[in-house]
């Protein structure tokens, strides 16, 4: 009988099935939102290649696809843009709270999860269990729309600057960049960030998406689901680290240092930031797409990143021949966002701007399922029952 512990073999209770650690390769539900085919280096939203969507459509069109299952007609797209634009504006009560929240922490994800929790109370979010489909959809739209405004305002408050109010008439990605930097971005910069946002909206049943769905299955309100997702995403084993990948490029410094640098990292057992992925066994399609986006800039950083990528992949293939490791989405995401005018501290928050749409789409889908997610655990501790200690170790109540 198999076991996950290092101790003696423990039988699985009758009627239960023992699954791999971390639920690896275990299918837990059906979804119509998308899928990741790691062996093929391919992922999709609904019926479309996610990379092709990032290359050909805008953020709001992909948003409509995830929420409604189809690319919108012109009138539907206009309606979503209008709805998202007006919901990007911070509720006055939340705007008043943000300075106090930012004063307690400099971590953007902590600010976001605290602010969204407050947003849930301010806007009167009801449990998904009690809300109808239209109310759930409106809540999902509002949460995804206000996320970039919270993050941009928090960034500027940390710098001692006044937040820039949302402009409901601008496209979502353009307005996000404007709210962060305080200036209207160049079209190239806005489009590059928009493509990154489309490419990272959703990515299968990762830990944060699964967390959001577990909470949604209880019937909790949408804000609670998002706070849980952000908490899961903040863990070092899950959250994206494009800033760390860019720091690695800065540390390498010159092309001739790339090979000795990677050999040193591997030699001391360090992780090469921006390389390898839990699912992909070939090139990450998001990284390949972002590399093409980065090439739009005539900038030495792009040529340097491409050259270093080739060196790192070659050396890793030599040192780890049984485990192919390629550049993942983090590697070129940092390059693109730096060139588009974002500071490294805003790289991971920008990922959340995109993933807020994917999280909420999954929450909406899960809310339609009346079954609570309630797996079981196999007990591997000391065998019960044992006598309850009566002295010395645990006092009895009076």
Active site residues: 277, 330
Angle between helices 347-367 and 222-233 (to 10 degrees): 140
CA distance 317 to 262: 12
State the Rg of the chain over Cα.
Answer: 23
User: How many other C-beta atoms are found inside a 10 Å radius of the C-beta of residue 276?
Assistant: 18
Going by C-alpha positions, the residue among 113, 88, 111, 91 that lies closest to residue 101 is: 111
User: How many other C-beta atoms are found inside a 10 Å radius of the C-beta of residue 388?
Assistant: 8
Q: What tokens appear for 320 in the block? A: 């780890």
Q: What tokens appear for 358 in the block? A: 């994917």
Contact residues for 218 (Cβ-Cβ < 8 A; gap 6+): 129, 372
Cross-sheet strand order for the sheet of 48-49? 34-37, 42-45, 48-49
Q: Hunting for tokens 């044992």 — which residue is that?
A: 386
CA distance 228 to 370: 20
Q: Under a CB-based contact definition with an 8 Å cutoff, are residues 289 and 51 in contact?
A: yes
CA distance 232 to 239: 8
CA distance 375 to 381: 19
Half-sphere exposure at residue 93, Cβ-oriented, CA atoms within 13 angstroms: 9
Q: How far apart are the first and last CA of the chain?
A: 45
| Planar angle of CA 228, 233, 235, nearest 5 degrees | 110
Q: Hunting for tokens 């999902």 — which residue is that?
A: 140
Q: What tokens appear for 199 in the block? A: 């490419």
Q: What tokens appear for 277 in the block? A: 């992925």
Angle between helices 74-87 and 59-68 (to 10 degrees): 100
Contact residues for 159 (Cβ-Cβ < 8 A; gap 6+): none
Q: Under a CB-based contact definition with an 8 Å cutoff, are residues 91 and 123 in contact?
A: yes
């Amino acid at each position: 009988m198999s076991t996950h512990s290092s101790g003696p073999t423990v039988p699985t209770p009758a009627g239960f099935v023992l699954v791999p650690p971390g639920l690896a390769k275990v299918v837990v539900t059906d979804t119509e939102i998308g899928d990741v085919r790691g062996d093929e280096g391919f992922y999709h939203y609904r019926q479309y290649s996610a990379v092709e969507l990032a290359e050909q459509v805008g953020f709001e069109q992909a948003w409509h696809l995830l929420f409604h299952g189809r690319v919108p007609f012109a009138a539907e797209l206009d309606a979503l843009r209008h709805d998202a634009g007006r919901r990007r504006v911070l509720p006055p009560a939340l705007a008043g709270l943000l300075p106090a929240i930012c004063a307690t922490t400099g971590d953007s994800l902590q600010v976001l999860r605290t602010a969204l929790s407050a947003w849930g109370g301010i806007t009167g979010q009801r449990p998904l269990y009690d809300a109808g489909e239209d109310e759930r959809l409106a809540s999902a739209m509002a949460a995804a729309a206000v996320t970039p405004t919270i993050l941009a305002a928090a960034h500027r408050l940390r710098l001692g600057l006044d937040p820039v109010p949302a402009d409901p008439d601008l496209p979502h990605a353009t307005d996000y960049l404007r709210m962060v930097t305080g200036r209207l971005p160049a079209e190239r910069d806005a489009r590059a960030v928009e493509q990154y946002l489309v490419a990272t909206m959703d990515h299968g049943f990762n830990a944060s998406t699964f967390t959001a769905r577990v909470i949604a299955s209880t019937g909790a309100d949408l804000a609670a689901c998002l706070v849980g997702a952000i908490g899961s995403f903040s863990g070092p084993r899950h959250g994206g680290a494009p800033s760390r990948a860019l720091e690695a490029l800065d540390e390498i410094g010159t092309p001739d240092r790339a090979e000795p640098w990677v050999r040193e990292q591997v030699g001391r057992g360090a992780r090469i930031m921006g390389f390898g992925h839990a699912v992909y066994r070939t090139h990450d399609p998001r990284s390949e797409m972002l590399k093409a986006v980065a090439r739009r800039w005539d900038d030495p950083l792009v040529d340097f990143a491409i050259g270093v990528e080739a060196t790192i992949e070659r050396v890793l293939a030599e040192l780890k021949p049984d485990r192919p490791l390629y550049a993942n989405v983090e590697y070129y995401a940092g390059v693109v966002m730096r060139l588009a005018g974002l500071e490294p501290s805003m790289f991971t928050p920008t990922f959340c701007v995109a993933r807020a749409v994917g999280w909420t789409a999954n929450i909406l889908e899960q809310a339609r399922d009346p079954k609570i997610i309630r797996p079981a655990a196999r007990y591997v501790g000391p065998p019960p029952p044992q006598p309850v200690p009566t002295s010395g170790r645990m006092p009895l109540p009076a």
